[in-house]
Amino acid sequence: MKKITLLMFFFAALSLSAQTDTVTFQVDLNGYTGGTFTSAHVNGTFNGWCGSCNPMTDADNDGVWDVALPLTAGTIEYKFTIDGWTDQENLTSGMPCTITTGGFTNRELVFTGDTVLPVVCWESCMACGSGGGSMGGQLSLPITFDDPTITYYSSSFGGAADTLVVDPTDPTNMVLEITKDASAQTWAGSIVGDSGLAAPIGFGPGNTTMMMRVWSPDAGVEIRLKVEDFTDPTISVETVDSTTVAGGWDTLTFDFSNQASGTAAINFGSTYDKIAVFPNFGATGTTKTFYIDDLMFGMGSGPSMVLPSLPITFDDPNVDYTSGEFGGASDTIVADPTNASNMVSEITKDATAQTWAGIVITNSGMANAVPFTMNDNIVSMRVWSPDAGIEIRMKIEDATDPTISVETVDTISTAGAWDTLVFDFTTVATGTAAINYANTYDKVVVFPNFGVDGPTAGAKTYYVDDITFGMIMPPSPAMDTIDLPISFDDPNVNYNVTGQFGGCVDSLQVDPTDPTNNVLGIEKTAGAETWGGIVVTSGGMKNAVPFTSTMTKMTMRVWSPDAGTDFLLKVEDKNDATISAETIATTTMAGAWETLTFDLSNTPMGTPSFDPAATYDVVVVFPNFGTPGIAVGAKTYYIDDIEFDNSVGLTEASWAQNLSLAPNPSTGLVRIEGLLEGDYAVQVRDLNGRLILETNTKQLNQGELNLSKLNNGIYMITLANENSSASRRLIITK
C-alpha cells in the first residue's frame, strides 16, 4: 500500500494549480489631452475589461500612474483607460507592442514570472519624448521590426491576419506574425510596409536577390515574395523559395531573376518599393501561423550558400539549390510526399508544356564536375512519377558552355511510388553528342516525360531526389513494429522505441549469461525515484494484448542482482494512458534468470481495475518498484521474453515442463522432445500470431517437424492435449 500511495502522490504533484506572478503596469499621462480626470485604469483580458476594477495611482504626483496586479503567467491583451471607460487609448494596428484581433487593437504582453513594465506614454509603445510615439519614420531595407523610430504598418489580405509580436524563440526580438486561417485564399498574405519603402530596392544586373528569415510550422512550404511599384501595382515581380526547417527559423533566398511561373520578369527600369509576402502560397486548409523577420536586399550577413555537388539531396540548408525552369515546367523544393522528414524537388509539367519542358537542377552549376571516367559513367536518381512507362531524360552540360553536353534516358517502372533510375552516359540519347572525358560536365538538367507535351499528357507532377554519381544503394527494409512475444532478438523488429522515466535508463544488450541472446538492460540509477521505469513499447505494439475474462496473465523473464525484488508490470492504451492495469511479481533468485508471472486481474488497491474489453497495447516495466535509488544505490536488471500467457489458469502438466525442441536454433528439421504417450495438437505460428501449420503428433515421423520451407526468423511452437498446453520458441536460421 505504501508503494501505491507514493506513486499516486507523485502524479498528484504534477497537477498543482498555476502560480500567479506580479505584473506592474505604468503609464505617463503628462501629455494626456483629454481633459481633467480622477483616475487611470488598466483593463484587459485578465479582468474581463471591467472598467474601474483595477485603478492606478500616482502617489508622487509626477504624472506617471501605476498598479501592481497578481496575474497568471501567459499572454494577455490590455489597454489604459480614464475613469473607467470615460476615455480609452486609441492604439494603431502594427505598433510593435500591440495586437489586432476582431477589429480591436490592444496592447499585448507575454510574461512568465514577476514583471515590471517600462513607463510608456499614452497611446504609445515607448516613453514620452523618446521619439517613439504612434507615428514613426518610413520603412526601408533591411526590415528588422525592432527600430523604435519606425512605424511598421502592415496590412493583410485573402484571409490572412498579421501583427507585430515578440519572437517566439527570442524575447528580445520583434517579428511579424502572419496567420493564414482555414478559410484563407491560396494567395492570402501580408503587405510589409503598407505605405511603401523610403527608397526603391536597388535591383540591377547581377543584383536580383533578397533574403528573409521565416519561421514555419512545416518544412517544404512555399513562400512567395512579391515586390511592386507603390504607385502602380501592375508593375511587379515575384519569386518563390521553400522552407527546409519545421518549427524553427530558416533563411530563405529570393532571386527575382528567376520569376515565378506565369508572372512578369524583372525590369531594371522599373521602381520596386512595396513588399508583399505570401506564406504557404497556393495552399488552403488548416490554420497555420508563420513569422518573418530580417528582410534584406542582397545575400545579407547570414551563412554563405555553397554550390551543390553530387549527391544532390535537397536537404542541406547551406546549399544553393537554385534551379531554372523552361518549356512549361515549374519546380520547388518540398517535403517528400511519402516521408515528411525528407526534402525533394517537385517538378510540375503543366497542360501547355512543350515536349522538351524540364528543370535545370543546378542553375549556377555545381561545386565539382561529375567525375566521369572510361569505367565510371553512371548517374542515379530517385524519381516519383504518377505513371509507369514514362521516359525521364537527363542532360549534363558544361555550366560555362551549353553546347558541351551529354544526355541519356531511363524509364519509370513504378507508378505512384519512388523508383531508382540509372542513367548510363555511354549510351547517349539518339541524335545527341557522345560523352567526352576531356570535357567538364557540371550542370544537371532533368526532362520528365520527355517527348510528350502537356496537351497530350495533361498536367502532371513528379518528384526527384538523391542525384548520385554511381549506383544508389537500395534503402534498408522497413523495421516491423514490436509485438508480443517480445524477445529482443528479431532483426526485423524495431526495439528502439523505449521511453525512460524516473531515473531509469535502458539499452539493448547481449544477455550476460548467453552471448547468443539479446535482452533489455535497465539501470535504476542511484538518484532514481521509487517509480522509475521503462516504457518498453512507446507508441504501442502492432497488436493489443489478447486478454479475455479468463486469460489475464503475462510472463516475463527477469534477471535481478537480488532476490525479493518487486517488479511492477503495467499495460496501457497508447491512445489513452488513463486506461491501464498493473500488478506486481517478486523475484526469488539473485543473479540468475527466472520467469515471473503477472496476473493483471489482480490489480493493487488504488489503481485502475483490469478490463478485459479494454485495449492494452503499451507495456511498462518498473524494476525494484517502491524503492528509491538512494536507498540501495545503482542497480542493473535485465528483462526478456515478455509474453501473453493463454493458459486459462491451469498448471502445466509434467510433460509441458519437460517439453523441448532440438536442435534450437534449427535449419528447419526439429524434434519435439519430452512428451509422454498420447496425441498432442501442434500449432506453428509466426511472431505476428499468424497460424502457419496445424497438425498433431500422430502424423509426425518420430516427433520430427519439417519446417525447412520457412524463412529465417522466430516461431512459436504450441502443443496441447485435453488438460493443458505449452509453447516453446524456435529460431530458424539457415
Domain ranges of the chain: 7-121, 154-297, 324-469, 499-645, 654-732
pLDDT digit string, tens, across residues 35-75: 899 999 999 999 989 989 999 999 999 899 999 999 888 88
Tell which wins on pLDDT, 74 or 615: 615
Give tens-digit pLDDT for 503-528.
999 999 999 999 889 999 999 999 99
What is the rounded average pLDDT of the residues 443-466? Answer: 93
Is the confidence at residue 495, as pLDDT, over 70?
yes
Query: Would the pLDDT of 333 be above 90?
Result: no
Please give the pLDDT value at position 194: 66
Q: Which residues of 590-611 are buried (b: 16+ CB within 10 A; e: fewer)?
A: eeebeebebebbebeeebeebb
The answer to whether residues 281 and 222 touch, using CB atoms and an 8 Å cutoff, is yes
In contact, 583 and 631? CB cutoff 8 Å = no
3-state SS class at 620: strand
Architecture of domain 499-645: Sandwich (2.60)
Return the CATH number of the domain spanning residue range 324-469: 2.60.120.430
**Cα 703 from Cα 85, distance rounded (Å):** 94
What local confidence, expressed as pLDDT, does residue 520 receive? 96
Residue 218 clears pLDDT 70, i.e. is over it: yes
Task: Report which DSSP code applies to 668.
Answer: S
- Is residue 134 pLDDT above 60, yes or no? no
Comparing CA positions, the residue from 49, 158, 150 lying closest to residue 104 is 49
Give 647's pLDDT tier (boundaries 50, 70, 90): low
Query: What's the per-residue H, E or C state across 416-434?
Result: CEEEEEEEECCCCCCCCCC
Average pLDDT over residues 474-497: 83
Please write the tens of the pLDDT for every residue from 368-383.
999 999 888 999 999 9
Radius of gyration, CA atoms only, the chain: 35
* Residue 651 grid coordinates: 498448471
Q: Give the per-residue pLDDT at 204.
A: 81
Q: Report pLDDT for 2.
A: 35
CA–CA distance, 29 with 561 (Å, rounded to integer): 74
**Terminal-residue alpha carbon distance, the chain:** 52
pLDDT at 399 over 70: yes
| Strand, coil or helix: 632 | helix
Task: For residues 141 and 202, give the distance between their C-alpha atoms in angstroms, rounded to a whole number.
Answer: 10
Alpha-carbon span 330 to 260, nearest angstrom: 8
Q: What is the pLDDT of residue 576?
A: 93
Residue type, 416: G
Q: Which three cell numbers stand for residue 622?
A: 518498473
For residue 303, pLDDT beyond 60: no
pLDDT at residue 524 in the model = 95
Per-residue 3-state assignment (H helix, E strand, C coil) for 353-403: CCCCCEEECCCCCCCCCCCCECCECEEEEEEEECCCCCEEEEEEEECCEEE
Please provide the DSSP assignment of 32-85 as one string: --S---S-EEEEETTTTT-SSSSB-B-TT-SSEEEEEEEEESEEEEEEEEETTT
Strands 20-28 and 115-116: parallel
- Give me the percent of the chain exceeding a pLDDT of 90: 45
- Distance (Å, rounded) from C-alpha 354 to C-alpha 456? 10
- Between CA 495 and CA 520 the distance in angstroms is 9
Which pLDDT band, with edges at 50, 70 and 90, does 394 fall under?
A: very high
Q: 655 by DSSP, 3-state: which?
A: helix
The H or E element containing residue 712 is none
SS3 274: strand
Q: How confident is the model at residue 652 (pLDDT cuts 50, 70, 90)?
A: very low
Q: How much is the pLDDT for 19?
A: 61
Average pLDDT over the chain, rounded to an integer: 85
The alpha carbon of 508 is separated from its chain's Cα centroid by a whole number of angstroms, namely: 25
Please say if the pLDDT value at position 554 is more than 70: yes
* CB neighbours of residue 645 within 10 Å: 16
pTM beyond 0.85: the answer is no
Q: So what CATH class is 7-121?
A: mainly beta
Eight-state DSSP code of residue 312 = B
Q: Which DSSP category does 266 fall into?
A: P
Over range 614-634, report the average pLDDT: 95
Query: What is the assigned CATH class of domain 154-297?
Result: mainly beta
Residue 403 binned pLDDT confidence (cut-offs 50, 70, 90): very high
| Whether pLDDT at 14 is above 70 | no
45 Cα distance to chain centroid: 33
Average pLDDT over residues 556-577: 94
How far apart are the C-alpha atoms of 203 and 186, rounded to whole Å? 28
Identical fold between 154-297 and 324-469 = yes
pLDDT at 562: 93
pLDDT at 132 over 60: no
550 band by pLDDT with thresholds 50, 70 and 90:
confident
Instruction: Give the integer Cα–Cα distance in Å for 108 and 97.
Output: 6
CATH topology of domain 654-732: Immunoglobulin-like (2.60.40)
Q: Mean pLDDT check: name the lowest of 86-95, 551-560, 624-633, 709-718.
A: 86-95
φ, ψ of residue 454 in degrees (nearest 5)? -60, -45
Position 199 confidence tier, pLDDT thresholds 50, 70, 90: confident
Q: What mean pLDDT do residues 574-582 have?
A: 94
State yes or no: pLDDT of 6 exceeds 70: no
Lowest-pLDDT range, 80-94, 302-316, 445-459, 529-543?
302-316
